[in-house]
Structure 1
């Protein structure tokens, strides 16, 4: 297929090209040039459209779709603690078929809003992973599933540095055979020994870190180490949140991991502050964005970008280039995951979103980065492409 007369955001710097042609061969971008000979390719005239990379939601818990806006007035621990939180009680007591029904709705919602890849921290052990695989079996979206052993340690076990029992370690191989890696709840539910055991797994490793003030203080009180220091024992590919990370924490992790996934609206809805992306970028951290828990937030990356951009400028009274925010859900996220996604470039997977430049909210499109970050929405989308195929809308 050849996309003709189309505007694009090209390459690792999202360079705006007013008019060009894009050849897609199989599931990848093969050639991008002003003139491409049609040969036997289908040619689509895309005049009036802007092609942007498919959006990547780098942190979700779509199982929580069943519990939207439950217990809004409760503190974070009461809501989301992996051992005794309301969320866990709901997940345990909900029939899998019902849970799958709402998870499927969430995935379809993401797709309609331009998300072409999402990364899910999936609770429930092997059964939880198999359930989400079933949900995704007939939905054409890329998913990176990070499973979890349903094993959590007490404060006393962490102080004693108790390892993971063999009975639980035996569950790791079948779990990892069926998913892309592990997504750990946090260091406050795992001893140093347990984190080191999990660090030996060969697939993606990620962990929640410094999400709340309470969790940050608890780590110091229990182990005399900060959460980021302990999380690094996992040898994670990336950390999620880092809302309460200090400058020294950020300096430490920037040298050892692929990046940080921030979840600003989720943090704000828990009344836990806003991640300091300015400081993260100063420390050369690769920053990506996730929408987090469906219980407390919607899976809409347009709203996430808009919120993060404006609240950061509002708090720090300093301009932030909207392109930097857009990179967090495209270029940066692709690098974080080590995959050829999130970028319109030769050899990359042909995941993209077709934006209507004459959309009521965008016209006239004078700054494409700003327009996408704080004006675009579901109605701005003409079509969504994954692997060279139109999976939502039509051209």
Structure 2
């Protein structure tokens, strides 16, 4: 049992600031009340903010073995499977080095307030096993979405693709091919079908670069977004370069979109239309993408997202909505990101550095300002 008392709590789906006390029992938020809660194990959060621990909804931890390699090269040279630069490095790196670099990246995430993440893991069964080993003695909560080379093989039969997907889903939380440009529409449908059958997550990268959209239109007559939604994917990554009616059909489908603005900037892929998607009611999440060219720091991701959105549109965008992208908007997928009774006890207790609670976190908070990080009801940073 743990009591967090006297803090300014960013409570519920609205992240409404509220001076209150939190009782944690069995890793769950058992009670939120303004009344004093008895108990000897207590944290006095007077003068501090209590926010949900952050959720990184798209990261490639394996790429931490190749930080800042390939800068300036075309996107496809770096990340397109199976022969992109990062895939060559992942293939040639020893397991101990991959594991150590992933552990370092996860420690970096926790130092900057992240309590859970969704990793898009290359390397098939072995790659999933390696990340599982790397996170085994860490409190960080991870969802692993795997992939298998068979889905990229144009010669593979539908039966072979289905077997490969089922094999990955036995040891992972879902399946996530790199993009519609690397798989057939039939393979995409098989992936979604198997994920739905097993109650797991199907996700895919779409419209990251204008060139991938152009090629999809040339070869199929449809955009990457149209093809992904037709296959049934409900978690799309990037959507930096929508064309035609892409955003309208995303809204109609109810799919969520994981934005990775710093990654898009690093790779000269563009600026996602964050404000327009938000105004359309699309559920938006944030991820830091490849550790190869980004630190897995969601504090930096939020600040960049807020300011590049305002700068690119010339209009105001509310900081509350950016903080929601790293917390409550991810709750339907990860089950966390919300401070409310019955939710997992994943909390970040920070100094209040300005009068605006949201900008205090987004603009000013650094690792040193995070006084406590609580994951699964346990203190992991103090």
Q: Deviation string for 1:229-278 (max 9, x for gaps)?
A: 11113311210000001361011012224410000000000011111111
Matched, 1:243 2:240: yes
Alpha-carbon distance in structure 2 between the residues aligned to 1:222 and 1:389: 51
TM-score of the two chains, using structure 2 as the length reference: 0.95
Match of 1:373 in 2: 362
- Could you tell me whether the CA contact under 8 Å between 2:61 and 2:102 is conserved in 1? yes
Cα contact 1:70–1:295 (8 A) shared by 2: yes
The change in CA–CA distance for 1:306 and 1:222 in structure 2 (over 3 A counts) is same
Contact 1:119 1:146 in 2 (8 A): yes
Q: Which residue, 305, 309, 315 being the options, matches 1:308?
A: 305
- Alpha-carbon separation, structure 2, partners of 1:170 and 1:68: 34
Mark the runs of 5 or more structure 2 residues left unpaired by the alignment.
none
Which residue does the alignment assign to 1:392? 381
SS in 2 for 1:253: helix
The answer to whether residue 169 in structure 2 is matched with residue 143 in structure 1 is no
CA contact (8 A) 1:164 1:197 kept: no
2:151 touches 2:164 (CA, 8 Å); kept in 1? no
Q: Given the alignment, which residue of 156, 175, 188 partners 1:182?
A: 175
Shift of 1:41: 5.3
- Give the corresponding residue for 2:204: 207
2:24 is aligned to: 24
Alpha carbons of 1:330 and 1:166: their partners in 2 closer, same or farther (altered >3 Å)? same
Counterpart secondary structure, 2:108: helix
What is the correspondence of 1:3-18 to structure 2 with a 5 Å cutoff?
3-17=4-18
Query: Separation in 1 of the partners of 2:268 and 2:44?
Result: 47
Give how far 1:88 is off: 0.8
| Aligned equivalent of 2:252 | 255
Q: Confirm or deny: 8 A CA contact 2:161 2:187 kept in the other structure.
A: no
Change (3 A) 1:21 1:211: same
Listed as ranges, the matches of 1:248-327 within 5 Å are 248-327=245-324
Distance 1:247 1:306 in 2: 29
Which one of 159, 166, 171 corresponds to residue 173 of structure 1? Answer: 166
Cα drift, residue 97 of structure 1? 1.4
What's the counterpart of residue 349 of structure 2?
354
CA drift at 1:171: 2.7
Query: Partners in 2 of 1:41 and 1:146 — Cα distance?
Result: 40
Tell me the SS of whatever aligns to 2:245: helix
Q: Write out the 4+ residue segments of structure 1 that deviate beyond 6 Å after TM superposition.
A: none
C-alpha contact 2:150 2:156 (8 A) present in aligned 1? no
Equivalent pairs counted in the alignment come to 377
Deviations 1:115-163 (A, max 9, x none): 0010000011111111100001101111010000113547xx5xxxx76
Query: Against the structure 1 CA distance between its residues 37 and 298, is the aligned structure 2 distance closer, same or farther, given a 3 Å change threshold?
Result: closer
TM-score normalised per structure 1: 0.92
**Any gaps of 5 or more consecutive residues in structure 1?**
none
3-state SS of 1:184 partner? coil
**Contact 1:61/1:293 (<8 A) preserved:** yes
Distance 1:28 1:70, change over 3 A: same
Asked if 1:72 corresponds to 2:61, the answer is: no
Decide whether the 8 Å contact of 1:55 with 1:115 is kept in 2: yes
Q: For the aligned residues, what is the CA RMSD?
A: 1.5
